[in-house]
Amino acid sequence: MRGKLDFDVAVVGGGPSGAIAALKCSLLGFKVALLEKTPFQSKPCGGLLTQKSLQALNKAVDGEIPESVFSRPSTLKVCYVYPDKGKSCIVDYEVLNVKRDLFDSWLREYASKRGVKVFGNTEFIKLANTQPVRILMKRRGKRLGLNVKYLVGADGVYSTVRRQLFPNIYFETAPAIQEHWEWKGEFESCFYIFFKRELTRAYAYIIPKDGTLIAGIWTPRENFKTLKARMELFKKLLKEKLSIEPNSVLKREIWAIPYQHVMEGLGNVVLVGDAGGFCNALTGEGISYAMESALAASESILEASNKDCEAVQVYREKVKEIAAFLKEKRETAISLTDEDCKSFVEFLEKRINDEKESFQFDFEFKY
């Protein structure tokens, strides 16, 4: 069976990057397997979709996001807060507020209906061979082998596929904490982003969602031990400056986000989304880059198949500009000051007022 292909493409991981990569490959005519553990579980996430995310989504999905996927309120204005200087809202820019687990599930179901073979209750175990690609997986307690021509690693920040490809390369991450609160206090329903170097080198945020409040912080160049102390400081700041405080903590989630230069993959194995480090270290936004890298991966696989060359050669060229941009944002984020953040937001507001049109997030390539 070693010489026979079970599928043209196998995708490991069923989040937005994996589902979009699998879906797009299927639409391009490939026989595709999507491997995902069961129960399906999304990573801790605020569940916000930028307009950039929607632009990427529309390149693979023909139709609208179901109403059941949206949280209440379904849209949120973006508001930057400087605790010592007040707040500043991006008046013409909104994000969609979704239930991340239902959004991921909808994408997988959509992919399944369009030809992707979704293997639930399946764990990727080992990359046994890279030319041709042979993987070992465990499904319902049984170990199985799978022969494919191309493999897409979409298995998140702690990617097993990436570790198998590059066992000796350190992949830097930034720890993050997110809590779901019942709270007291009144404020306008917005996505609030807090800049305060005393609080974190990055930013903190609050998101109203379905009658609860999500509060989160991520802390580059620190460790998980500081997260709870940072969250307590954030609660104190919210109470003092905005009269917001939790009545109870319903859930606490601790995770990490990529804080790493992009790693594209090796041979016919490509890495997308968090697995490949596709995350903006300045804003913490990853869903749009997950989708964009997934689309680039599927197009690279098609081109490599036609040219009979390694997929990563094509993929590296396709994501070159994204990788360079994310590298620049990471270097900017490392040395960012409160005043830099204020100047950044003033720049956005001026651009919106000058253009007098909805903001499309393309500022990132020009700032």
CATH assignment of the domain containing 312: 3.50.50.60
Classify residue 82: in a domain, yes or no.
no
Closest to 80 (Cα-Cα) out of 196, 175, 182: 196
Same domain, 185 and 150: no
Write the secondary structure of 125-162 as one string of H (helix), E (strand) and C (coil): EEEEEECCEEEEEEECCEEEEEEEEEEEECCCCCCHHH
Same domain, 267 and 334: yes
pLDDT tens digits, one per residue of 100-125: 999 999 999 999 999 999 999 899 99
Same domain, 226 and 164: no
- pTM comes to 0.90
3-state class of 260 per DSSP? coil
CA–CA distance, 356 with 80 (Å, rounded to integer): 20
CA–CA distance, 214 with 92 (Å, rounded to integer): 23
Classify residue 353: in a domain, yes or no.
no
Q: How many domains, in total, are found in the chain?
A: 2
Same domain, 154 and 200: no
Instruction: List Cβ neighbours of 61 (8 Å cut-off, separation of 6 or more).
Output: 23, 107, 110
Closest to 206 (Cα-Cα) out of 255, 241, 175, 172: 241
Same domain, 46 and 127: yes
Same domain, 206 and 223: yes
Asked whether the predicted pLDDT for residue 183 surpasses 70, the reply is: yes
Asked whether the predicted pLDDT for residue 32 surpasses 90, the reply is: yes
Instruction: Of 46-55, 172-181, 204-213, 240-249, give the lowest mean pLDDT range.
Output: 240-249
pLDDT, average across residues 287-313:
97
pLDDT of residue 352: 45
CA–CA distance, 272 with 323 (Å, rounded to integer): 12
3-state class of 17 per DSSP? helix
CA–CA distance, 115 with 117 (Å, rounded to integer): 6
Closest to 276 (Cα-Cα) out of 223, 289, 295: 289
pLDDT of residue 337: 63
Radius of gyration (Cα) for the chain, nearest Å? 21
Phi-psi region of 103 (alpha: psi -120 to 50; beta: other; left: phi over 0): alpha
Residue range of the domain that includes 208: 173-257
pLDDT tens digits, one per residue of 51-90: 999 999 999 999 899 999 999 999 999 888 876 666 666 6
Classify residue 89: in a domain, yes or no.
no
Classify residue 133: in a domain, yes or no.
yes
Classify residue 307: in a domain, yes or no.
yes
Same domain, 195 and 51: no
Q: Which amino acid is at 79?
A: C
Same domain, 41 and 138: yes
In angstroms, the Cα distances linking 142 to 20, 164, 300 are 27, 21, 32
Q: How confident is the model at residue 346 (pLDDT cuts 50, 70, 90)?
A: low
In the listed set 218, 235, 257, which residue is the last one of a domain according to the structure? 257
Instruction: List Cβ neighbours of 313 (8 Å cut-off, separation of 6 or more).
Output: 304
Classify residue 24: in a domain, yes or no.
yes
